[in-house]
Structure 1
Amino acid sequence: MAATPLTDIRNIGPATAAALAEAGIADAETLRALGADAAYARLLEAGTRPHFIGYCALVMGLQGRPWNDCRGEEKAWLRAHFDALVAEAKEKGPSTLARALDEIGVRIGR
């Protein structure tokens, strides 16, 4: 069976798909299996700058919802969850590969 492109998931465009691929998530099946939190943690580990709307877009997209669909209590919960993911990623620091790529200056857009 052929892998489904990441861009087949709602809210995921070419730039997000490229960042996900750089983080080792090459297809929609892998992203769905990981879930939003684990996938976003991988993005952060790979050096993607934290962005709350990007996190919301990923969560909502995996639910088949538009990126701007969360409001009120759900948005507050997602914000608290996002902040916890970012704090955990800062404690861990970038992956060994990300640090090595930074050292030789080959990571694009970082």
Structure 2
Amino acid sequence: MARVLIIDDDELFRGFLRQALTRAGHDTVEAEDGEEGLARFRSQKMDVVITDIILPGKTGLEAIAEMKMEVPDVKIIAITGGDLAMPKGYVAFKFSKPIYPKPLISAVESLCA
């Protein structure tokens, strides 16, 4: 079982991810923007972070950069609405919307193996 932080400003999408991950036996924590995500990341040990890249306020890329500075080996899955380029090594997996639960759950589990 992994502890997964989900950062996304779409409440329905967060709920979809939470439900899929919970059914697969994982524990989830949610945040609706980069600032809240960083606060939760700093206050609780997370095995994996799933973050949207386009967020209000602090973007997903900005949040990832801060997480990587604090915990260089943090395991991150990025979700984009398009094909955004990211620095090499920033994320372990990148998914574009729409997301299907099975590949996402497989990615989380491979990161925790």
- Under a length normalisation based on structure 2, what TM-score does the superposition of the two structures give? 0.30
Structure with the bigger percentage of helix: 1
Structure with the bigger percentage of strand: 2
- Under a length normalisation based on structure 1, what TM-score does the superposition of the two structures give? 0.30
